[in-house]
Amino acid sequence: MPTAFRGALLLGTRSSALALWQTDHVCRRLMEVSPSLAVRAVPLSTLGDREVDAVLSDLGGAAFSSEIDRALLDGRVGVAVHSLKDLPIKDNTGIVTAAVLSRDDPRDALVSTLEGGLASLPSGAKIGTSSPRRRAQVLAFRNDLLVEPVRGNVETRIAKAVKGPLDAVVLAAAGLNRLGRVEHIKELLSIETFVPAPGQGALAVQCREHDHEARALLALIDEPAVRSEVDAERAFLSALGGGCSLPVGALARHIDGAPLELHGFVGALNGGESIRISASGEDPLELGRALAEQAISLGARELLA
């Protein structure tokens, strides 16, 4: 069991309450497998956290990870903890995702003080989300709703639904669960209607590619079932040429020992036509690529153009 780190193992993370909760969770998992290990979180500022008024797609695909990558590569931290859905499709050069773990509820959640769920909101209600995927699925379900961009941490977005100016916001259920804010959930949105982001609810822990000691340690907390689900989802997104700026969703699940089941969504930002497909298979990467090819044959390229 690898424990021979000099001093504390430093874990780089974003500085939000959710990111710190997730990093503390990883710290506890590491100490379970290596009780003598000293660990410490190192909060870091990222471009995506600083530029709260910017459109995420304008900041590039690594808005929440590039500064943490630099800290990892220059040795300021030994490992990095991320919400997996926020990571670019490809790891940065010199970095590997050595553990994928602790998938919470992958669904989206509606936060609102209005009665009923999404189907019961009054026509013209303002729904907050800056996610192209969530926007596409909200409008595909209710094209009479108004979708408004909203950025900020979980608490900031909750407040905009509770106090205004928005009638509701759509957030990841996993974040609300982890922060103990489940009382704000008005409705958990079904995956048949709202296919989550690839990797939503899962954590990724990265280290330097040639840091064999860190890789061996992180292998002890890696969860192969979660990794295979995420691999299929991200293979689907990758084959469509995507990142988090595209209206694409994917969710893979292991159900009762059956082959891996993958659901995919490709939508239009205006909520018009969409593609919803599913398939099953044994190899996660092949499954993701095959489902993407099916989506492309149904017009996914044109929807995403």
CA-to-CA separations, 219 to 84, 85, 99, 274, in angstroms, rounded:
16, 20, 6, 38
Give CA angle at 247 (97, 233), nearest 5°.
35
Dump strand ranges (E) for 46-199: 79-83, 95-101, 108-112, 126-128, 146-148, 168-172, 185-188
Q: Which of 126, 157, 186, 215 is catalytic?
A: 157
The residues with which 248 forms a beta bridge, in sequence order, are 266
- Strand, helix or coil for residue 60: coil
* Known catalytic residue at 6: no
Cα separation, 2 vs 213, whole angstroms = 7
* Known catalytic residue at 70: no
Give CA angle at 190 (200, 64), nearest 5°.
20
* Known catalytic residue at 27: no
Q: Which of 29, 85, 107, 208 is catalytic?
A: 85
* Known catalytic residue at 50: no
* Known catalytic residue at 85: yes
Q: Which of 134, 186, 208, 215 is catalytic?
A: 134
* Known catalytic residue at 222: no
Do 9 and 76 contact (CB within 8 A), yes or no? no
Q: Which of 103, 126, 133, 215 is catalytic?
A: 133
* Known catalytic residue at 178: no
Residue with tokens 């509770």: 162
Computed from CA positions of residues 175, 177, 182, 186, in that sequence, does the dihedral angle turn out positive or negative?
positive
Q: Which of 70, 151, 181, 253 is catalytic?
A: 151
The 8-class DSSP code of residue 217 comes to H
CA atoms within 13 A on the CB side of 175: 24
Give catalytic residue positions: 85-86, 133-134, 151, 157, 244
